[in-house]
A = this chain, B = another copy of it.
Amino acid sequence: MSNTNKKIILTGDRPSGRLHLGHYIGSLQNRVKLQDSYQQYIMIADVQALTDNFEHPEKITQSVYDVTLDYLSVGIKPDVSTIFIQSQIPELTELTVYYLNLVNLGRLERNPTVKAEIQQKGFGEGIPAGFFCYPVSQAADITIFQAELVPVGDDQVPMIEQTNEIVRRFNRIYQTDCLKECKAHLSHASRLVGIDGKAKASKSLNNAIYLSDSPEEVRQKVFQMYTDPNHLKVSDPGTVEGNVVFAYLDAFHKDKEEVENLKDHYRKGGLGDVTIKKLLNETLQELIGEFRERRESINKDDLKEILVEGTRNARVKAMETIEMVRDAIGLNYFK
């Protein structure tokens, strides 16, 4: 199944709800493209998701199957990519514990990604130690699968640096080369705005189109989209910048030239919102229609089997690495 000549990629998602078009543009599309040329591990990061949802585990655990189905619906092939659940690989927690010795508190405090997230989340009773330490757990995720590439956005680059620091320190202290450094595989996809024109499509803002939305839900959301509030009559000149319909056409319409022509027309006046929304609706119905078709071909038992199998395969790799790690530290007393 796995071709050992291929470079290993680790990617994944925190399962905290169904996935939407923002995920598709930001990462899923890329995974579909990469899966044949790389050996791709896709982690459903339930343990990581618990670090800031530990009081509502059902939110996480109930999303695991939804997210898997979303993966399959966009064309991730389970016989090519290894889809697995983080919590079912206990070796990850073991490696995390060894890594915690190699990172100082001050270094964790200075991690810009975590710093920003802590501010954003406004933890009531104080910062949970698990959340504070999650970059270390992420380093374990990446390195246990010996990943060389990790697709990330710009804001995640400090996580990769932190991981490589741990790798170098571990290899130096324990005089080994069993851990590999990794590289960020930067995604150049811009973030997809929400249908309300607000920063980012997200579940919490309720402004996203889900991969699993029905045709009617898609249609309604498209027709609710924020356009140009000053574009009152069809004949008025309209603004393309900040216009959600054009942002989505840019992201999803296959004919870039047609989209540019429409933009010119819209700017000049004479192109109505209803017309461009109809076009976007057709575009998205086609895409999400493909997703729906794949989704409907999968039954619940197959889904479980895919996760069991993917997790089993991922665990083989994890156990291989943890054995080397234990050997390096000297913990294999019974060998």
B-facing residues in A113-136 (Cβ within 8 Å) = 123, 125-133, 136
Within the complex, the shortest CB–CB distance from A60 to chain B, in Å, comes to 8
Give chain B residues whose Cβ lies under 8 Å from the Cβ of A46. Answer: 331
Give chain B residues whose Cβ lies under 8 Å from the Cβ of A334. Answer: 88, 304, 307-308, 311
> With an 8 A cutoff between CB atoms, is A64 at the interface?
yes
A306 to B135, CA, bound (A): 38
Within the complex, the shortest CB–CB distance from A111 to chain B, in Å, comes to 11
Give chain B residues whose Cβ lies under 8 Å from the Cβ of A107. Answer: 126
What 1/0 mask marks residues of chain A from 61 to 80 whose CB sits below 8 Å from any chain B CB?
Answer: 10010000000000000000
Cβ–Cβ contact B50 & A329, under 8 A: yes
Give chain B residues whose Cβ lies under 8 Å from the Cβ of A308. Answer: 334
B-facing residues in A207-256 (Cβ within 8 Å) = none
Cβ–Cβ contact B88 & A101, under 8 A: no
Cβ–Cβ contact A101 & B61, under 8 A: no
Contacts A61-B333, A333-B85; A105 near B93 (Cβ below 8 A): no
Cβ–Cβ contact B133 & A329, under 8 A: no
Contacts A47-B97, A331-B61; A128 near B106 (Cβ below 8 A): no
Cβ–Cβ contact B88 & A102, under 8 A: no
> With an 8 A cutoff between CB atoms, is A157 at the interface?
no
Cβ–Cβ contact B130 & A55, under 8 A: no
> With an 8 A cutoff between CB atoms, is A108 at the interface?
yes
Cβ–Cβ contact B97 & A61, under 8 A: no
Within the complex, the shortest CB–CB distance from A31 to chain B, in Å, comes to 22
> With an 8 A cutoff between CB atoms, is A90 at the interface?
yes
Cβ–Cβ contact B88 & A90, under 8 A: no
Give chain B residues whose Cβ lies under 8 Å from the Cβ of A97. Answer: 47, 93, 96-97, 130, 137
Q: How many positions in chain A have a CB within 8 Å of any CB in the partner chain? A: 54
> With an 8 A cutoff between CB atoms, is A100 at the interface?
yes
Give chain B residues whose Cβ lies under 8 Å from the Cβ of A85. Answer: 333
Give chain B residues whose Cβ lies under 8 Å from the Cβ of A137. Answer: 97
B-facing residues in A154-205 (Cβ within 8 Å) = 173-174
Closest B residue to A330 by beta carbon equals: B61
Cβ–Cβ contact A333 & B126, under 8 A: no
> With an 8 A cutoff between CB atoms, is A35 at the interface?
no
A209 to B57, CA, bound (A): 52
The answer, among B51, B94, B106, B331, for a CB contact under 8 Å with A101, is B51
Within the complex, the shortest CB–CB distance from A210 to chain B, in Å, comes to 22
Give chain B residues whose Cβ lies under 8 Å from the Cβ of A101. Answer: 50-51, 54, 128-131
> With an 8 A cutoff between CB atoms, is A293 at the interface?
no
Within the complex, the shortest CB–CB distance from A299 to chain B, in Å, comes to 16
> With an 8 A cutoff between CB atoms, is A264 at the interface?
no
Q: Which A residues have a C-beta under 8 Å from some C-beta of B?
A: 46-47, 50-51, 54-55, 57-58, 60-61, 64, 85, 87-88, 90-91, 93-94, 96-98, 100-108, 123, 125-133, 136-137, 173-174, 304, 307-308, 311, 326, 329-331, 333-334
Kindly list the 6 A-B residue pairs having the minimum CB-CB distance in the complex, ordered from nearest.
A104-B126, A100-B130, A101-B130, A54-B101, A61-B330, A93-B97
